[in-house]
Structure 1
Amino acid sequence: MFSRPQNPSDALDALPALRHSLSRAGFYPQLVEDVVVDALDSDVPVDHFIHLETHFDRDEVHRHITALVLTHDVLVIVHVDDQQLDDKGDHVAAQASTETVPVARIGSVLLSSVYHQPQDYKSGDPVREMTLAIAWSGGQRLDLMPAGCSDAQCDADHGYTGTVAREDLVLRISAEADGPTAVEDARRFARALRKINTAAALGRRA
């Protein structure tokens, strides 16, 4: 049976690198840490991945952090973003949301990797971009577009074509935007998630 620590803060103490990653991200680290600890519910993390995004809306800067924290039993997903409440930015609100997914429910862990200049690839060359997609609810995204044909003069209605993708969480990590370490961190986390997910599906502990 998996043991739980007596003190909820021991969940982060079991993996000091998690606290270090939150501090390094620099996005309300104490707030995010407390939300993560509460979501862990005294479970002990075995791995994590922290992803920080920044986007601009007119004169405002918005940031969003996603913390993926893996235990032997669950995947904890924490999202925190902020928003200015006035033009000067003196008043800011942060919204946090959490989701806890039993690892046994996860149906797929998909990694899509991009390699630049593949003709020059050598074993061990770094991945430049990576997309991590995790599906557990069975929900599907349908992307449709008008279908066409090879005849440029054709104006007939060919209906629609598209793709169906199962995904509940999708993160894109780029070496250029996030740094090469972030890409490798995502690969490491995905391997740990796959291992524990497979073990849970087979009814044994990783």
Structure 2
Amino acid sequence: MNANRYEDFISELNELDDGDAPVARDVAAALKSDPEILAYFVRPQTLFDSDSVYESVTCYAVTDSSLHVISSDVSYEFAPEGELLTSVRTLPLSMLRDVQLLRRRSLQGPHAGELSAIGVHAVWGGSWLIDSFPAGCEDPSCTLDHGSMAHAVAEDLDVFVDTSLDAAVFSKGAEFILRLHEILVGAGR
């Protein structure tokens, strides 16, 4: 039997914002019907754009039946004063397949043999990402309508951490990736 990590997960989210992180409320709402967390990873990031710096967080939570990917960051697209946008994607574990685990280790130097990066990749193929764009030709003066082109890519999951991150974040990320891989290949179910 696995211990439920839900309270630890919500507590870690609340620590990001002095005990009242809006993302924690959004996550609690998303997990209301499936609150038993087997494994989780909270990945805070500082993002930079042309004129501002803001905090973003991506969370992964694994339950008996699903993987929840929660992304929360500040957007200025719809409100000039900014607003917090949180999206929750829920993927049934049964849809995740072709699971690959990558470990990267240093070959030389004082850290030879040590883990320098780890990642897990899985395909779920439940939908496709389609980018469409106007077709064109090489002639810059051409005014003809060349129609549209599209590029379709199967959706997949990548969780990757390396030692450029804070040591605690790297350690927690590596632990989560190994646990997620174990769950996805069936050893953890």
TM-score under structure 1 length normalisation:
0.63
Q: CA deviation at 1:114?
A: 3.4
Distance 1:132 1:179, change over 3 A: farther
* Identity value in percent: 20
2:85 to 95, 119, 130: 95
Q: How many residues align?
A: 162
1:119 to 90, 103, 108: 108
Distance in 2, Cα, partners of 1:64 & 1:98: 14
Whether the aligned pair in 2 keeps the contact of 1:133 and 1:171 (CA below 8 Å) is yes
Distance in 2, Cα, partners of 1:129 & 1:45: 25
Distance 1:28 1:136, change over 3 A: farther
What residue is the counterpart of 1:135 in the other structure?
Answer: 123
Distance 1:191 1:129, change over 3 A: closer
Q: CA deviation at 1:78?
A: 1.0
SS at match of 2:108: helix
Question: What is the aligned-residue RMSD (CA, Å)?
Answer: 3.3
Q: CA deviation at 1:199?
A: 2.6
Q: CA deviation at 1:53?
A: 2.2
Higher helix share: 1
Query: Is 1:32 matched with 2:32?
Result: no
SS at match of 2:186: helix
What residue is the counterpart of 2:167 in the other structure?
Answer: 180
Higher strand share: 2
Whether the aligned pair in 2 keeps the contact of 1:175 and 1:181 (CA below 8 Å) is no
Distance 1:167 1:35, change over 3 A: same
Distance in 1, Cα, partners of 2:103 & 2:20: 29
Query: Is 1:55 matched with 2:50?
Result: no
> Which ranges of structure 2 fall in alignment gaps of 5 or more residues?
130-152
Distance 1:93 1:62, change over 3 A: same
Distance 1:28 1:167, change over 3 A: farther
SS at match of 2:100: strand
Distance in 1, Cα, partners of 2:112 & 2:68: 36
Opposite residue 61 of structure 2, the aligned amino acid is V
TM-score under structure 2 length normalisation:
0.68
- Farther off after superposition, 190-199 or 107-116: 107-116
SS at match of 1:136: strand
SS at match of 1:58: coil
Opposite residue 35 of structure 1, the aligned amino acid is D
Q: CA deviation at 1:108?
A: 3.4
Whether the aligned pair in 1 keeps the contact of 2:73 and 2:85 (CA below 8 Å) is yes
Distance in 1, Cα, partners of 2:182 & 2:160: 21
Distance 1:179 1:132, change over 3 A: farther
What residue is the counterpart of 1:17 in the other structure?
Answer: 8
Distance in 1, Cα, partners of 2:123 & 2:17: 28
Query: Is 1:66 matched with 2:55?
Result: no
Whether the aligned pair in 1 keeps the contact of 2:12 and 2:42 (CA below 8 Å) is yes
> Which ranges of structure 1 fall in alignment gaps of 5 or more residues?
3-12, 142-164
